[in-house]
Structure 1
Amino acid sequence: MNFDEMYPKILSEYEQVFQKIDYKNIRDFMDTVRDSNRIFLIGVGREGMATRAFAMRLMHMGKEIHWIWDDTTPGIEPGDLLIATLGDGQIGHIHYICERAKEAGGNICVVTGSPSGRTARDLADQVLFLPAAVYRGTDAVVPSFQPMGNLFEQCLLILFDMVIMMLVDEDPAQSFEKMSERHRNVE
């Protein structure tokens, strides 16, 4: 398949995914993020990279953000939010982290393409369902001709960016100019 055949198929997949998303689910997620003072995030692989990009934008908004794997990450306390991205809903070490966070009193939000997975089912206080084909996923989602979890990972980055833009748009104290002032200035 050449470039001119491939990009329309990919764009069509994106359109199908975003048309299938439940806006109320996004709204609930946005409210949780807005109302949380300390937010911890975890994800692995390419979906972890999309989640790290989301963490960066949350920091640019002025949120206190911590990436679970960083050595400087403090302990989770009651009322803190852990956003765990698990495409297939069943990544063992992320499940373990969610168990520990739950024991510490944290609120767990699982972002997944497979909400029937055990972490979403057994531990999540909230699930954000992104209905895109994901590697080893088992739920009804938009299928993809792309390999493994490409569609989920790509749509995750776009969805997280949209969430940030909507949060900024809804908050009169926020602006993209203010966000840019918080951007790292030592690079």
Structure 2
Amino acid sequence: MNRRMEIIKELDLTLSKVSDAECEKFLGFFDKKRRYFFAGAGRSGFAIKGFAMRMMHLGYTCFVLGEPTTPSIHENDVLVIASGSGNTASLVSMAEKAKSIGAKVMIITIDPTSKIGKIADAYIQVPAPSPKVQSELSFESIQPMGSLAEQTASLIFDSLVLQLMERDNMTSDEMFKNHANLE
């Protein structure tokens, strides 16, 4: 079997173990009247930036933490974090600050019992292995480090976008109107 097919089998395994209930709870926090802040580090950071972009295409007000035009977070805003471990110090600090202000915190993580997981209003557990986290849901991947977890998170984000498209009655053509046009 070639490596691409092995990766697809791993992704099929992890995605089949993602909780529908956790995804539904996560989706319940999305309302176009709110503002959304997205944060992640490393490859999880790349995954969440892709999610933030699609949420903007859907018409949500979105900001990526660390960008110079990101405003301050306020009560009832939502901080969405991608962190395999859920214990990345900078992200823990952001989550704690957001909670102290009265913002909601959501995380996609391997470990919902992590520091961020424990204070999150909603989480989606990624059942994939990582050298940073031991999980009873994980197995040994052929891929290095946390690659499978990061790929799984990206695909979960894409599935959430599809669900929000359906819920919000948005088409890809309508979303494309929000696509960058100064390229």
TM-score, structure 1 normalization: 0.92
Q: Distance in 2 between matches of 1:50 and 1:15?
A: 18
Determine helix, strand or coil for the equivalent of 2:30: helix
Q: Distance in 1 between matches of 2:145 and 2:177?
A: 37
Identity of aligned residues (%): 29
2:34 is matched with 37
1:180 is matched with 176
1:134 is matched with 130
Are the aligned partners of 1:87 and 1:135 in contact in 2 as well (CA < 8 Å)? no
Q: Distance in 2 between matches of 1:103 and 1:10?
A: 40
2:100 is matched with 103
Tell me the alpha carbon deviations over residues 73-101 of structure 1, each in whole angstroms, 9 at most, x when there is no partner.
11111100000111011100110111111
> In structure 2, what residue type is equivalent to 1:179?
M
How is 1:1-187 mapped onto 2 (pairs within 5 angstroms)?
Answer: 4-34=1-31, 37-121=34-118, 123-143=119-139, 144-172=141-169, 174-187=170-183
Q: Distance in 2 between matches of 1:147 and 1:75?
A: 36
> In structure 1, what residue type is equivalent to 2:151?
Q
For structure 2, the 5+ residue unaligned runs are none
Are the aligned partners of 1:21 and 1:130 in contact in 2 as well (CA < 8 Å)? yes
Are the aligned partners of 2:39 and 2:80 in contact in 1 as well (CA < 8 Å)? yes
Determine helix, strand or coil for the equivalent of 1:183: coil
Which segments of structure 1 move beyond 6 Å, counting only runs of 4 or more? none
Are the aligned partners of 1:37 and 1:64 in contact in 2 as well (CA < 8 Å)? yes
Determine helix, strand or coil for the equivalent of 1:75: coil
**Shift in Å, 1:36:** 5.8
Determine helix, strand or coil for the equivalent of 2:14: helix
For structure 1, the 5+ residue unaligned runs are none
Q: Distance in 1 between matches of 2:48 and 2:98?
A: 18
> In structure 2, what residue type is equivalent to 1:139?
S
Determine helix, strand or coil for the equivalent of 2:2: helix
Are the aligned partners of 2:75 and 2:103 in contact in 1 as well (CA < 8 Å)? yes
